[in-house]
Amino acid sequence: MPKHQLVIMANRLPLKRSGRGAGGWERSPGGLVTALDPVLRKRGGLWIGWDGSPGRPGRSMEHEGLKIKPVGLVTKDVEHFYHGFCNRTLWPLFHDAIRPAEFNASWWESYKEVNDRFARAAARHVAKRRSVWVHDFHLMLVPQMLRALRPDLRIGYFLHIPFPPEEIFARVPWRAELVHGLLGADVVGFQTWKDAQNFSRAARHLADAEGTDARLTFHGHKVRVNSFPISIDAGEMERLAQTAAVQRRAREIKARLGGRRMFLGVDRLDYTKGIESRLVAFEQLLESDRLSAERCVLVQVAVPSRETVPEYAQTRTRIEQIVGRINGEFSHPGSVAVHYFRRNLGREELAAWYLAADVMLVTPLCDGMNLVAKEYVSTRFDGGGALVLSEFAGASHELRQAVLVNPYDLEGMATSMQRALALPKAEQRFRMSILRMIVKRHDVEEWSGNFLGALEES
Ligand code: GDG
* pLDDT 10s digits, 385-444: 999 999 999 999 999 999 999 999 999 999 999 999 999 999 999 999 999 999 999 999
The atom of ligand 1 lying closest to the CA of 270 is 22
The atom of ligand 1 lying closest to the CA of 158 is 28
pLDDT on residue 73: 96
pLDDT > 90: what percent of the chain? Answer: 85
Pocket test for ligand 1, best of 273, 372, 442 (most atoms within 8 A of CB): 372
In the predicted structure, residue 14 carries a pLDDT above the cut 90: no
* Cβ of 345 less than 6 Å from ligand 1: yes
- Tell me the domain boundaries of the chain: 6-230+445-457, 234-441
* Cβ of 342 less than 6 Å from ligand 1: no
pLDDT on residue 6: 87
* Cβ of 37 less than 6 Å from ligand 1: no
* Cβ of 344 less than 6 Å from ligand 1: yes
* Cβ of 159 less than 6 Å from ligand 1: no
The atom of ligand 1 lying closest to the CA of 343 is 38
Contact 456, 400 (CB under 8 A): no
Fold for domain 6-230+445-457? Rossmann fold (3.40.50)
Mean residue pLDDT of the chain comes to 94
pLDDT on residue 22: 52
Helix axes 193-207, 175-182, angle to 10 degrees: 120
Domains 6-230+445-457 and 234-441 share a fold: yes
pLDDT on residue 426: 97
* Cβ of 266 less than 6 Å from ligand 1: yes
Confidence of residue 335 (pLDDT cuts 50, 70, 90): very high
Fold for domain 234-441? Rossmann fold (3.40.50)
In the predicted structure, residue 4 carries a pLDDT above the cut 50: no
* Cβ of 303 less than 6 Å from ligand 1: yes
